[in-house]
Structure 1
Amino acid sequence: MHVGTDPQPVAGPLPWYRQLYAQVIVAIVLGALLGHYAPALAEQMKPLGDAFIKLVKMIIAPVIFLTIVTGIAGMTQLRSVGRVFAKAMAYFLCFSTLALVIGMVVAHVVQPGAGMDIDPASLDTSAVQGYVQASHEMTLTGFLLDIIPGTLVGAFVGGNILQVLFVAVLSGIALAMVGERGRPVLTLLEALTTPVFKLVHLLMKAAPVGAFGAIAFTIGRYGLESLVNLAWLVGTFYVSALLFVLVILGTVSRLCGFSILKLMRYLKAELLLVLGTSSSESALPSLMEKMEKAGCRKSVVGLVVPTGYSFNLDGTNLYMTLAALFIAQATNIELTLWQQVTLLLVAMLSSKGAAGVTGAGFITLAATLSVVPTVPVAGIALILGVDRFMSECRSITNFIGNAVATVVVARWENALDRDALARALDGGAGPLAAAPDPAAGPGDREVLAAD
């Protein structure tokens, strides 16, 4: 007599109202309506968005640490860690610079600030003093030194992604070097991965609430009417970002054998979450998990995604040069070719120095203009009212750029399961199923099937 277990019934697709992306869409629409028709009440919804983002930031450190340590510790050749990092940084530098150049070209072609004839002396700078002060306190040397935490555990309490990345890489290398003696520690960390990712799934159930609160506050505080005066600038930025994603990143994706549109569809829930919360960090844990599911090796995901969140800010860079030239045009300041090249070079450095800083887009713009005195820093007061509406587009572009970068670097490293990628992008894989990772232990595969 054969004794076995009955096959488990295969669950069908969830109804639309139980899917995260649908819930976030409804939340965004309801939040926008509340912000428009009851702005005073909508402004009071801000704690909902803030609370959700804090919940996600709470889990980011353990997700990054466990992913990187278990990924690196399972690698057979440690020199591949440096190789992955070098390839990722080369990619980031290339496309971040390209985004800066495109923003500058678009500003020259469209001329969004032409004809405004604004006297810089007439601008009210009181509202932007905090950003200007933050920009003066930000230096590249200070940023690099800040990557090293004060204590080993200090990286997990400060909320600095790069500090967690730094400690995780060193820990993973150390664990790999001790070999079998470190196996019990690796087994423990692999086992911890399952409940940590389960916690991520639980927190994501609150995403609609966070998106509702964030979008209601934005519309209620700033109002859609604030877009009217600067609609040309906002529209130019959105179209530029769309073209950057579809044309530049789309071409890169096609050369690497996948479709940018399918990737965006695959990440639709995360994209809507970023749109609703104006923060790409809100979707970081989910992005790391989904890129593993799509066939990118665990060690590559662990290195590229967190690093990209600091160094691969395509949307922010596109915004910086476009906004800087908008201010120059609005205040009737003619910039020479050398001044524009200087602006570009300074923006390349300042965008790296603001990595991980809240309100980084606005702060880096202030930092760049303070070094290039030809364009008045006071001019950022012109775009303060609509910056919140552009921050959503910045965050989405940054998010997509990092998703593409992860697949590209994994392909360069021969660490991409193309069949798993095709299944994921075509919607053929299960919600959290993933192809086995050569560098992952059994605990890693269990977590991806945990929900």
Structure 2
Amino acid sequence: MRLVRPLRLLYVQVVLAMVLGMALGHFLPQAGPLLKPLSDGFIGLVRMMIAPIVFCTIVSGVTSLGSGNAIGRTIFRALALFYLLTAAALALGLVTAFVLRPGAGMHIDASHLDVSNLAQYAKGTHPRDVVAFGMSLIPETMLGAFDKGEVLPVLLLSLLFGFALNSCPGAGRPVLALIDGIAETLFRILAMIMRLAPLGAFGAMAFTVGRFGIRSVGSLGMLMVSFYVACVLFIALVLALLARVHGFALWRLLRYLREELLIVLATSSTEPVLPRLIAKLEALGCDKGLVGLVLPAGYSFNLDGTAIYLTLASMFIAQACDVAVSAPQIAAMLAVMLLTSKGAAGVSGSGLVALIATLTVIPDLPVAGVALLVGIDRFMSEARALTSVVSNACAVIFVSMWEGACDRACLGRMLGAATPGGAQSAEEVARNAPKT
């Protein structure tokens, strides 16, 4: 009986599924790629829920915040924090590249590289100037905001809808009650879908190990090591220090979010855990309106794992192809990356798309060099996603504290319950989480 009880916990099931998936991919590599639909299906089911859940959460949040000045101040502080964290991530990736020099000594001629496998990623690039990025936020129709499942158009529509409900409180009250009821129903549907997380993790790990295998790492292992070192340093030095300044221990937050982090690790995607993060951050004592505003925005504006990847991968290509990069060129590259690192989807492969978008506007670095990274990108996408999820969870707590919208007693109690001997199951957290 004692053995069966831990197996009922979602994170235990996910860990076991990942181990089984890796074993199957290693011993039966031909069968591994055939199981990728399990992962794709799970991610697709969760992605189906993201847009309506984000809409309901933000609308409810805007109406609870009430004042337009409070909403504007919250958004401004969140965006300022996002760009500071992104700048720190870009700088840390650059320093790691100069210290560890992962591409030194490879002496690769970029003109001899096979770029045919870059076509699928190049199609995802698009103009990243401020005007084009701003226009991409506006959906073609109101319902079109939900069509592609992108967060930012839904965020814009939700803000407008929430402001409109605030301007007509009498007529808006039954509409808000309907939205709250829909939100509760959506979270219950999500809880049913999340029971399939072990199946998705199993398929994702079987595909990764079966398709690529450990031999695909080859001489590029130093780049992977450098990237993981940079991500760990960002979490341990930047986020942990900021968490301590704000009065909580980062390792306790990581333990509290262990189920979500394991799902991100298995699927290489941040999207499947967005709705669960909303519920868990509300359960920590963060105001639901603030969570609904900051977290979805962070999914597009605070991709620190991608930011580290962009500088490190760019300098790796420069070192591997023996391209000398001057200080002004590096400064221009960082300025471009502040744009290209924003708005990328939190799914596997988005890092390569952002990297190609960056190199297309930096003529000194060969875009063909990205072909070096395709084989190992899957092994780095997990670290990108994990770093971004941890950073966004911390950002929500930080902004909540700045706005006086965080119940510190609740935060301490919930994170204390996440320590050994007092861990709560996902079901218990969901029951205790405030309803949107």
**TM-score, normalised relative to structure 2:** 0.94
Runs of 4+ in 1 over 6 A off after TM superposition: none
Q: How far did residue 360 of structure 1 move?
A: 2.1
- Counterpart amino acid of 2:202? F
Question: Within 5 Å, which residues of 2 pair with 1:27-426?
Answer: 27-135=17-125, 139-352=129-342, 354=344, 359-426=349-416
Letter in 1 for 2:106: M
Q: Quick one: distance in 1 between partners of 2:77 and 2:294? A: 9
Quote the offset at 1:41 in angstroms. 0.5
Question: How many Å separate the matches in 1 of 2:289 and 2:12?
Answer: 32
The letter for the 2-side match of 1:51 is G
In 2, the alpha carbon distance for the partners of 1:178 and 1:121 equals 63
The amino acid across from 1:212 in the alignment is: F
For the 8 Å contact 2:58–2:292, the answer to whether it is kept is: yes
Partner Cα separation in structure 1 for residue 92 and residue 297 of structure 2: 23
Give the TM-score taking structure 1 as reference length. 0.91
Change (3 A) 1:263 1:82: same
Alpha carbons 2:270, 2:347 under 8 Å: kept: no
State the 1:129 CA deviation.
Answer: 2.7
Change (3 A) 1:74 1:353: closer
What letter is aligned with 1:432? A
Larger Rg: 1
C-alpha displacement at 1:35, in angstroms?
1.0
Question: What stretches of structure 2 of length at least 5 have no aligned partner?
Answer: none
Distance 1:324 1:40, change over 3 A: same
- Cα deviation for residue 138 of structure 1 reads 5.3
Structure 1 residues 14, 33: closer, same or farther in 2, change over 3 A? closer
Per the TM alignment, residue 309 of structure 1 is displaced from its structure 2 partner at its CA by 0.3
Residues 237 and 32 (structure 1 numbering): CA distance in 2 closer, same or farther, change over 3 Å? same
d(CA) in 2 for partners of 1:233 and 1:44? Answer: 29
- Give me the whole-angstrom Cα distance separating, in 1, the residues matched to 2:191 and 2:320: 46
Deviation at 1:400, TM superposition (A): 0.5
Secondary structure of the 1:335 match is: coil
For residue 139 of structure 1, report the CA deviation from its aligned partner.
Answer: 4.9
Measured in 1, the distance between the counterparts of 2:347 and 2:24 equals 30
Q: Across the two proteins, how many residue pairs are aligned to each other?
A: 427
CA distance in 2, matches of 1:410, 1:433: 22
CA displacement, residues 113-172 of structure 1 (integer Å, 9 cap, x when unaligned): 001111112211111133234335555433321211111111122211111111111111
Equivalent residue letter for 1:418: R
Cα displacement (A) at 1:390: 0.2
Partners of 2:138 and 2:153 within 8 A in 1: yes
- Is residue 140–residue 353 contact of structure 1 (8 Å, CA) maintained in 2? no
Gaps of 5+ in 1: 1-11, 437-442, 445-451
Rounded Cα–Cα distance in structure 1 between residues aligned with 2:175 and 2:366: 55
CA offset digits 1:246-267 (Å, max 9, x no partner) = 1110001111111110000000
